[in-house]
Amino acid sequence: MARLIVIGNGMAAHRLVDALTRADTAGTWQATVIGEEPRPAYDRVALSSYFDGAAETDLALPDLSGRAHIRTGERATAIDRAAKTVTTSTGAVLGYDTLVLATGSTPFIPPVPGADLPGCHPYRTIDDLDAITASARTATTGAVIGGGLLGLEAANALRLLGLDTHVVELAPHLMPAQIDQGAAALLARMVADLGVTAHTGTATTAVRPGADGRAAALDLDGTTLPAQVVVFSAGIRPRDDLARAAGLEPGPRGGIAVDDTCRTPDPAVYAIGECASHRGTVYGLLAPANAMADTVADRLLGGTATFTGADTSTKLKLLGVDVASFGDAHGRTEGALDVVVNDAASRRYAKLVVSDDATTLLGGVLVGDASGYAALRPLVGRKLPGDPLALISPAGTDTAGPAALPDDAQICSCNAVTKGELCAAIAGGAADVPALKAATCAGTSCGSCVPMLKTLLRDAGVEQSTALCEHFAHSRAELMEIVRATGTTAFSELIARHGTGRGCDVCKPAVASILASLGNGHILTGEQAALQDTNDHFLANLQRNGTYSVVPRIPGGEITPERLITIGEVARDFGLYTKITGGQRIDLLGARVEQLPAIWARLVDAGFESGHAYGKALRTVKSCVGTTWCRYGVQDSVTMAIDLELRYRGLRAPHKIKAAVSGCARECAEARSKDVGVIATDKGWNLYVGGNGGFTPRHARLLAADLDDATLIRYIDRFLMFYIRTADRLQRTAAWLESLDGGLDHLRAVVVDDALGIAADLEADMAAHVAGYRDEWRGVLEDPDKLARFVSFSNAPQAPDPTISFTTVRDQPVPTAPVHLGMPAAASRT
């Protein structure tokens, strides 16, 4: 087995090892990664989200420890090319057959007096961010030296830390490498509205110390700007010192010189990412680093891949402003023409750079509205499908799509996925966006190409039908709006007016859920009872042997001794199997249908109510003990969990909903694996949405940070109601969020910014639910007609099912009967 050593544990190194070990089915290579940071590889592109509430674990890239030996907290100190060894800071000497340098870059710190004062920081690693956060605790004003991509991200970080924030840029305008002066003028206005002041065309001549010896102010061309926190983001320098010491040739502007295979003059040594100089260029973006890593992985396995340059296009949201740049954005090509739409009133700037005959797209810039980026970027270097001005008019990008592109056009620049590869995946059975992502990796990095993936699916004729079933041409979301608008209260009325036939096992439960979500009374009242599936029909979960489970609600997992005793007595008296679930509740299993009302009566008399373990509804809000008991807690997570569970109990939805509240960042309630996750901070609560376990686990994503109690509840109200209105049948929040046009950004616009103007309506719907909540178990007990449903045999109401039998295991009853053929599997009840 050949020995591979990778020096560096950043994103390029991770991509290389991942690509190599996935493809190396023969086990040709044994990989060792040496990384000086004390943590595994993480997503530096998303580093700024750390200030927006993301935890270190949120940034972590997929674990490769099972496929490679990862040596964290260890620095490579020397390379002996003759002996083919690497010496590390621990004194270890490691032999290699092939060496890959992925040492990345270091921030450029301008040589100004005072740049090394306490309070001055680079912006490169998680440790840097922690140091900036610590400095900000005693500061009021912060300044960023550098107004490029990373500089504006750093400015947003200081703003989120509560500092009066300034950006100092030597060039005449912001983001000089990516956008032109017209775009930058709009960007500066939009940034200023967010409280960040830009000082362009301005040089920093010194950092002045205060009385405590820490940074206190900047000297700017004769003026003074107070700044107790100074962040340097003035560019990067490739880390090539280790390679230079080993005698490897540097590029003309630094970096490790490599050829089109990413190999150095030493045939056993490669270099990738920001430390590599390819044809005299050092790339500082993710897409080129990924392309280099893929090239080396292919070469190590005997392939012929080459790296001949990379797309430096980028689309970002900086300080909440959409900015995109692609191709020759500055019009440096001889004879290039600019086509510009500069709508200051609508805060939208769009420029296309075209050839001198206006037929070929060379590049472009978009600020304020970058929705056209996905359609325009793949057209760079190709004939335009129409008038360039029409392409950047408000609705113009509809005319620029994948149909106009040849198969070799890149749709996903981050992962170098072409239209041809996507079409092949579709032909191979990928019938939706998640399947395309899994098959090609397209859309898994920045996500800007996802709209194009949807268009490709539609153009291929495999776009998923939105019809609920053969009886309704409408989607679930459309039926929800029809029911809301018409006041329909019965399935028969809805299908008569808006469907065909008599319905089926798909549309009946879906419509039943819609009616229940809109507060249409008890689900076993009248016609609604016939629409329910087995679990909802009996308000309990059917088990493998034909018995049912009973799960009383225990908000926040908090329970009095008296109620705990009642549960024990009920379990004992009815001979039930008891189990504490993962959702901090107690499951009582083995109840026969005719026993359910008697069990509920005992529980209801003790103050319990239905936990809705059987329904597509809120299941539970899990919590840790928070500040009540825990020495690490920063908020009262128990009270918040109880408040949320009592607020949303009984809320019917397209799928089950789980939630959790953690009292600190240690996350003992596992909130980020839930549909709604709440994590306490020193300033309030961070709200995460769209997580779930199951066959395809998902981490929830940060929707909003540092919220007070009232705002948190308001945002959850809006989120849940928006999900209930628009999700597809049986669609979990994770899948819904992934399929949502605009994804998390659109959801945040709706929930936080009220971009659709429906927030008050969503809140009113939730208020109606809260006011109209009634316990479903009690509803059955108080109604003789409903009670009559709970019999094993209609001709012998009190006779138990003779096929049900039990044996004893660990002092508890468990089923002995075989699984009945055709019996539905037990539903999740945690």
- Is 721 exposed, middle or buried, given 0-12, 13-18 or 19+ CB atoms closer than 10 A? buried
| Residue closest to 60 by CA, chosen among 11, 113, 6 | 11
Q: How many structural domains comprise the chain?
A: 5
Q: What is the dihedral of CA 561, 564, 569, 575, to 10 degrees?
A: -160
Report the alpha-carbon distance of residue 314 to residue 300 in Å, rounded: 29
Please report whether residue 354 resides in a domain: no
Beta-sheet strands, E only, within 668-819: 676-681, 684-689, 701-707, 806-809, 812-815
Residue 664 marked as a ligand binder: yes
Would you state the structure tokens that stand for residue 671, as one six-digit string?
Answer: 């909130």
pLDDT tens, position by position, 593-624: 889 999 999 999 999 999 999 889 999 999 99
Residue 120 marked as a ligand binder: no
Q: Do residues 663 and 634 lie in contact, with contact meaning Cβ atoms separated by under 8 Å?
A: yes
Q: Do residues 468 and 506 lie in contact, with contact meaning Cβ atoms separated by under 8 Å?
A: yes
Report the alpha-carbon distance of residue 72 to residue 35 in Å, rounded: 5
**Domain shared by 493 and 509, yes or no:** yes
Please report whether residue 362 resides in a domain: no
Q: Do residues 269 and 101 lie in contact, with contact meaning Cβ atoms separated by under 8 Å?
A: yes
In the chain, the amino acid numbered 218 is: L
For residue 755, the enclosing domain spans: 616-777
**Domain shared by 635 and 696, yes or no:** yes
Element (H or E) spanning 586, and its range? strand 586-591
Confidence of residue 819 (pLDDT cuts 50, 70, 90): very low
In the chain, the amino acid numbered 335 is: G
pLDDT, mean of residues 584-591: 88
**Domain shared by 634 and 703, yes or no:** yes
pLDDT, mean of residues 768-772: 94
With a cut of 50, say whether residue 33 has pLDDT above it: yes
Residue found under tokens 């003309």: 252
Half-sphere exposure of 671 (CA within 13 A, CB side): 31
Residue 630 marked as a ligand binder: yes
**Domain shared by 506 and 545, yes or no:** no
pLDDT, mean of residues 374-392: 83
Please report whether residue 386 resides in a domain: no
pLDDT value of position 23: 93
pLDDT value of position 830: 41
pLDDT tens, position by position, 262-272: 999 999 999 99
Last residue of a domain, one of 532, 550, 568: 532
pLDDT value of position 446: 65
pLDDT, mean of residues 617-636: 90
Confidence of residue 803 (pLDDT cuts 50, 70, 90): low
With a cut of 90, say whether residue 791 has pLDDT above it: no
**Domain shared by 497 and 562, yes or no:** no
The least confident of 33-37, 225-229, 812-816 is 812-816
| Residue closest to 219 by CA, chosen among 211, 230, 819 | 230
**Domain shared by 43 and 116, yes or no:** no
Residue 661 vs residue 390, higher pLDDT: 661
pLDDT value of position 507: 86
The CATH number of whichever domain residue 119 belongs to comes to 3.50.50.60
Cβ contacts of residue 374 below 8 Å, gap of 6+?
Answer: 448, 449, 450, 451, 452
With a cut of 90, say whether residue 828 has pLDDT above it: no
pLDDT, mean of residues 241-252: 94
Cβ contacts of residue 815 below 8 Å, gap of 6+?
Answer: 543, 544, 545, 547, 590, 804, 805, 806
Report the alpha-carbon distance of residue 111 to residue 108 in Å, rounded: 9
Please report whether residue 436 resides in a domain: no
Please report whether residue 626 resides in a domain: yes
The least confident of 374-378, 496-500, 646-650, 687-691 is 374-378
Q: What are phi and psi of 756, to 5 degrees?
A: -95, -5
Please report whether residue 323 resides in a domain: no
Report the alpha-carbon distance of residue 571 to residue 295 in Å, rounded: 63
**Domain shared by 217 and 89, yes or no:** no
With a cut of 90, say whether residue 128 has pLDDT above it: yes
Residue found under tokens 């003990």: 625
pLDDT, mean of residues 343-358: 87
**Domain shared by 627 and 762, yes or no:** yes
Report the alpha-carbon distance of residue 569 to residue 559 in Å, rounded: 15
Q: How far is CA 686 from CA 200, 369, 661, 791, 793, in A?
A: 34, 27, 10, 47, 51
Residue 371: how many other CB atoms lie within 10 Å: 16
**Domain shared by 17 and 102, yes or no:** yes
Would you state the structure tokens that stand for residue 766, as one six-digit string?
Answer: 């939730």
pLDDT tens, position by position, 301-329: 999 999 988 777 777 766 768 888 888 88
pLDDT value of position 666: 86
pLDDT value of position 463: 61
- Is 56 exposed, middle or buried, given 0-12, 13-18 or 19+ CB atoms closer than 10 A? middle
Please report whether residue 674 resides in a domain: yes
Long-range contacts of 810-813 (CB under 8 A, 24+ apart): 812/577, 812/578, 813/575, 813/576, 813/577, 813/590
Last residue of a domain, one of 208, 234, 260: 234
Q: Do residues 620 and 609 lie in contact, with contact meaning Cβ atoms separated by under 8 Å?
A: no
With a cut of 60, say whether residue 826 has pLDDT above it: no
Last residue of a domain, one of 184, 215, 234: 234
Report for 4-18, 175-189, 724-738: range of highest mean pLDDT? 4-18
**Domain shared by 94 and 225, yes or no:** no
The least confident of 39-43, 520-524, 594-598, 636-640 is 520-524
**Domain shared by 714 and 599, yes or no:** no
Residue 811: how many other CB atoms lie within 10 Å: 5
**Domain shared by 655 and 761, yes or no:** yes
Cβ contacts of residue 413 below 8 Å, gap of 6+?
Answer: 287, 311, 313, 377, 449
Residue 693 vs residue 648, higher pLDDT: 648
Residue 668 marked as a ligand binder: yes
Please report whether residue 578 resides in a domain: yes
Would you state the structure tokens that stand for residue 683, as one six-digit string?
Answer: 């300033």
Long-range contacts of 198-203 (CB under 8 A, 24+ apart): 198/147, 198/166, 198/167, 198/169, 198/174, 199/166, 199/167, 199/168, 199/169, 199/225, 200/147, 200/169, 200/171, 200/172, 200/173, 200/174, 201/169, 201/170, 201/171, 201/172, 202/168, 202/169, 202/170, 203/170
pLDDT value of position 813: 83
Output the average pLDDT for the chain: 87
Report the alpha-carbon distance of residue 398 to residue 486 in Å, rounded: 34
| Residue closest to 792 by CA, chosen among 804, 780, 809 | 804
The CATH number of whichever domain residue 588 belongs to comes to 3.90.480.10
In the chain, the amino acid numbered 520 is: N
